[in-house]
């Protein structure tokens, strides 16, 4: 993940949401 000049390329909440969606979607697929 690339960081911008300020150290935050994207809002933390957005990053956290995207990460959780990707992580859990993959986790669910692997469990099934």
**pLDDT band per the 50, 70, 90 thresholds, residue 1:** low
Give the model's confidence band at 4: pLDDT under 50 very low, under 70 low, under 90 confident, else very high. low
Q: Which two tokens stand for residue 22?
A: 């990707």
What are φ and ψ of residue 14, in 5° steps?
A: -65, -45
pLDDT, the chain, mean: 76
Distance of CA 28 to the CA centre of its chain: 16
| Residue 9 pLDDT level (bands cut at 50, 70, 90) | low
pTM of structure: 0.40
Separation CA 20–CA 4 (nearest Å): 22
Report the distance separating Cα 15 and Cα 3, nearest Å. Answer: 12
Q: Which residues, in sequence order, are CB contacts of 2 under 8 Å at separation 6+? A: 9
């Amino acid at each position: 993940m690339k960081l911008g000049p300020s150290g935050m390329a994207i809002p933390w909440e957005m990053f956290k949401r995207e990460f959780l969606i990707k992580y859990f979607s993959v986790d669910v697929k692997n469990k099934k």
